[in-house]
Amino acid sequence: MAYRITLIPGDGTGPELVTATRRVLEATGISFDWDVQDAGAAAIEKSGTPLPNEVLTSIQANRVALKGPITTPLGTGFRSVNVALRKALDLYANLRPARSMKGIPIRYDHVDLVVVRENTEDLYAGVEHDVIPNVAAESIRIITRPACERIVRFAFDYARANGRRKVTAVHKANILKFTDGLFLRVAQEIAAEYPDIPFEDRIVDNMCMQLVERPHEYDVIVTTNLFGDILSDLCSGLVGGLGMAPGANIGTELAVFEPVHGSAPKYAGKNKVNPVATILSAVLMLHHLGEHDAAQRVQGAVEQVVVEGHSVTYDLKPTREDPTAVGTQEMADAIIAAMS
């Protein structure tokens, strides 16, 4: 039986990354019945809205989606489709693993971090307005006990299920005494329910320094929405950049898999950017579907191609101008060849 999966190509480099990933997935021998849905610029052209209702109903029906990045206008224009999708489907946990692979020119070997980011509230709730246009504006930061409880529980359950060492809650409770004060108190309460898993907390600015200097001291990091977004880009920089950083948005019933990175619009249509972040997001999807064997085969093939270092995109070469760098589809071809 084929898995029916919602497939959202997205904007910018999204469609070419999703095509590469789809080819890798199909090469596993598993059957997929793709329910292709437009969101972002393509959807505006067709139906006048960046997030048509059919996208949400498709994901609700299929329960699983693979998604390319979607562009959000800066400062003006429509609100983020990515944030709206996570909120509308209550995909409350954003899981963003960052694991180093051999063969990439990076500062540290053996980095293995997982950022668990709250995905539905904080400053991303988008409650903001002008007080005096062009002079003053306000944004309201929303943090609630139920959202803190479920994201911290998700982090501990993930740590337990995956044999991880410890959980670190990251906050700014010294300054944001009400919002992050609540997050920290709840994290400490939930941690007491998991005596088998060590727990600690760090203030976010200190955490940035520590991750850059001593990433091996950390394991699962649980935090609020904005800090999670920033820390996961930082963690991707430790393992080879955004081209290597996969992600999953997970709710109680539904899951949407997408890379950490955005649409990298300057490279759109150039067959240039690294498909690994999207392919590893698909590996997370295969695990979610219970297809662990296929997931391991794809992961192994990616690692082999990256270690060999020949058929890799520009960002994984020692210099960005390396003339031996291959394109998005050629790297996917090499991963498919390594699988067989």
Does position 123 bind ligand NAD by CB under 6 A? no
Q: Residue 58 or 263: which CB sits closer to ligand NAD?
A: 263
Instruction: Give the pair of three-digit tokens for residue 275.
Output: 């498909």
Q: Residue 159 or 251: which CB sits closer to ligand NAD?
A: 251
Give the interface segment with ligand NAD, choosing from 116-124, 152-160, 220-228, 269-277 (CB under 6 A): 269-277
Looking at this protein, which amino acid is placed at residue 116?
V
Q: Residue 38 or 315: which CB sits closer to ligand NAD?
A: 315
Does position 273 bind ligand NAD by CB under 6 A? yes
Question: Site residues for ligand NAD, window 124-183 (CB under 6 A)?
Answer: none
Alpha-carbon span 186 to 102, nearest angstrom: 38
Question: Site residues for ligand NAD, window 307-326 (CB under 6 A)?
Answer: 315
Q: Residue 84 or 339: which CB sits closer to ligand NAD?
A: 84
Four-CA torsion 265, 269, 275, 280, nearest 10 degrees: 70
The full 3-state SS of 99-141, as one line of letters, equals ECCCCCCCCCCCCEEEEEEECCCEHHHCCEEEEECCCEEEECC
Q: Nearest to ligand NAD by Cβ — which residue?
A: 262
Q: Residue 5 or 84: which CB sits closer to ligand NAD?
A: 84
Positions marked active-site? 124, 172, 205, 229
The residues near 252 (Cβ < 8 Å, ≥ 6 apart) are 90
Instruction: Give the pair of three-digit tokens for residue 330.
Output: 């050629």
Smallest separation, CB 151 to ligand NAD (Å): 18
Q: Quick one: which of 50, 69, 240, 327 contacts ligand NAD (CB under 6 A)?
A: 69
Strand, coil or helix: 241: coil
Looking at this protein, which amino acid is placed at residue 9?
P
Does position 261 bind ligand NAD by CB under 6 A? yes
Backbone angles phi, psi at 19, to 5 degrees: -60, -45
Alpha-carbon span 302 to 234, nearest angstrom: 22
Instruction: Give the pair of three-digit tokens for residue 288.
Output: 């979610």
Q: Quick one: which of 72, 119, 299, 311 contacts ligand NAD (CB under 6 A)?
A: 72
Give the interface segment with ligand NAD, choosing from 48-56, 170-178, 208-216, 267-275 (CB under 6 A): 267-275
Site string for ligand NAD, 240-259 (x = CB under 6 A): --xx--------------x-
Cβ-contact 82, 34 below 8 angstroms = no
Cβ-contact 20, 328 below 8 angstroms = yes
Does position 264 bind ligand NAD by CB under 6 A? yes
Binding residues (CB under 6 A) for ligand NAD: these are: 69-72, 82, 242-243, 258, 261-265, 267, 273-274, 277, 315
